[in-house]
Amino acid sequence: MADLAKVSEATVSRVLNNVGPIKEETRQRVIDAANELNYAPSALARNFATSKSGNIGVILPYLPKVNMFSTYFFSEILSGIGSMSREFGYDLLLLFRPMDDVLNYYSQLFHTHKVDALIVLGSKEDPIELEALRRLKEEGRHFCLINQHYDGEGFSEVDATHEKGSYEAVTHLIQQGYKEIAFINGPDEYSNSRERSAGYRRALHDHGLEVNQSLLFTGNFGRKSGYAVASSVFARLNEVDAIFASNDRMAIGLHQGLRDLGIPWNQLPGMIGFDDSDIAELTTPTLSSVKVPFFQMGELAAENLLSRLRPSSLGMQDHFRIQLPTELMIRESSLRTDSKEE
């Protein structure tokens, strides 16, 4: 390669990296030679020399449980991350949270140079998880969380306005005339569950309604957990006239459960889900939902992390906290009359 262009390896390196002054003729000779030989520098050697992997890691909850979340959530975020990473010339390393040893795992991803930055999805409050994240921060690593907030830790986070989204959803139900609104939430270990709960309570309170403890349910974001709640809701059907679910999958599970218990589709309680996943408009009636800009959240997470990896980023605040707005998507399931009565 160097020989063919009749220059030293160093010059080749300079041309390929666009660094230092190069005579135009030389540059061309090198490029021609590279094309002729179909030469491409070994990413491995290059990474080794610069001790940077060129990868951005994405942590996913450990496999069997991926489906606890909607795949929509992950697909969108991953697409967003992937889209931005590519613009920065980074590749995307998909990593699954190990069942044990999380503490070392995160840290070693950096130490072994598997990744230059890390995005953690599906993180939830847990002593070990927290400890592992703190360690990353101590070590000055570039990482960020999506859709999860740790209070007072100063982690970088990209989140959405879950409290507000929840407030708006419940308010909408109330305005539609619903008064007894059941709430099926996700586990409290997720900050967004707690925020949605707060929004739910605030909306009830602002409209002079009381929280009815017996109408509060907890699922695990999976469809089945929504389905499982159906019987409890069914038993209280005299006192429940609407349901707010913490994500679409649970809403749909609940919907199915109620249908299976014999409720005709046009006599279902009012329903609103969360996430505005693609399935929201596939149900009958179509499901109102709170839209969360997952794709964009993925993009922003990647963009902020990667731009801080650039040499030119000196002086840039090394820590960021972004909160994107949610949006209430009103469809048939939450409307009192109209299409639901078809």
Partner DNA sequence: CCGTTTTATGTACGCGCGTACATTTTCTCA
Partner DNA sequence: TGAGAAAATGTACGCGCGTACATAAAACGG
**Residues at the interface with DNA (CB under 7 A):** 6-11, 13-14, 16-17, 19-23, 25-27, 41-42, 44-46, 48-51
Question: Cβ closer to a second copy: 200 or 274?
Answer: 274
Residue 223 binds which entry of a second copy, DNA, none, with Cβ cut-offs from 5 to 8 Å by kind? a second copy
SS3 call for 227: helix
Q: Contact letters (x/-) for a second copy, 28-57, by CB under 8 A?
A: ----------x-xxxxxx-xx--x-x-x--
Q: How far is the C-alpha of 248 from the C-alpha of 33, rounded, in Å?
A: 56
Residue 232 binds which entry of a second copy, DNA, none, with Cβ cut-offs from 5 to 8 Å by kind? none
Contact status, residue 290 vs residue 168, Cβ threshold 8 Å: yes
Considering only 121-129, 158-166, 232-240, 282-290, which stretch makes contact with a second copy by CB under 8 A?
282-290
Q: Contact letters (x/-) for a second copy, 140-179, by CB under 8 A?
A: ----------------------------------------
- Backbone dihedral angles phi then psi of residue 291, each to the nearest 5 degrees: -80, 135
Among 91, 101, 131, 188, binds a second copy (CB under 8 A): 91
In the block, tokens 């008064």 appear at 179
Contact status, residue 116 vs residue 307, Cβ threshold 8 Å: no
CB of 63 to a second copy, least distance (A): 5
Residue 108 binds which entry of a second copy, DNA, none, with Cβ cut-offs from 5 to 8 Å by kind? a second copy
Q: Binders of a second copy among 104-123, rule CB under 8 A? A: 104, 107-108, 111-114
Task: Classify residue 208 as exposed, middle or buried by CB count within 10 Å of its CB (0-12, 13-18, 19+).
Answer: exposed
**Cis, peptide link before residue 285, omega less than 30° from 0:** yes
SS3 call for 322: strand
Residue 75 lies near a second copy (rule: CB under 8 A): yes
Contact status, residue 52 vs residue 116, Cβ threshold 8 Å: yes
Question: Cβ closer to DNA: 32 or 341?
Answer: 32
> Which is nearest to 217 in space by CA: 202, 236, 191, 203?
236
Q: Contact letters (x/-) for a second copy, 239-258, by CB under 8 A?
A: -------------x---x--
Neighbouring residues of 67: CB distance < 8 A, sequence distance ≥ 6: 222
CB of 26 to a second copy, least distance (A): 23
Helix (H) or strand (E) holding 275: strand 270-275
Residue 203 binds which entry of a second copy, DNA, none, with Cβ cut-offs from 5 to 8 Å by kind? none
Q: Which contacts of 152-159 are long-range, i.e. CB under 8 A and separated by 24 or more positions?
A: 154/319, 155/319, 156/304, 156/305, 156/319, 156/320, 156/321, 157/320, 157/321, 157/322, 158/297, 158/300, 158/301, 158/304, 158/322, 158/323, 158/324, 159/191, 159/192, 159/297, 159/321, 159/322, 159/323, 159/324
CB of 112 to a second copy, least distance (A): 4
Residue 93 binds which entry of DNA, a second copy, none, with Cβ cut-offs from 5 to 8 Å by kind? a second copy
> Which is nearest to 288 in space by CA: 297, 279, 296?
279
Residue 223 lies near a second copy (rule: CB under 8 A): yes
SS3 call for 44: helix
At position 260, the amino acid (one-letter code) is D
- Backbone dihedral angles phi then psi of residue 252, each to the nearest 5 degrees: -70, -35
CB of 46 to a second copy, least distance (A): 8
Question: Cβ closer to a second copy: 91 or 153?
Answer: 91
Residue 283 lies near a second copy (rule: CB under 8 A): yes
Residue 307 binds which entry of a second copy, DNA, none, with Cβ cut-offs from 5 to 8 Å by kind? none
CB of 147 to a second copy, least distance (A): 17
Binding site for a second copy (CB under 8 A): 38, 40-45, 47-48, 51, 53, 55, 60, 63, 66, 71-72, 74-75, 78-79, 82-83, 86, 91-96, 104, 107-108, 111-114, 223, 252, 256, 259, 264-265, 278-279, 281-284, 342
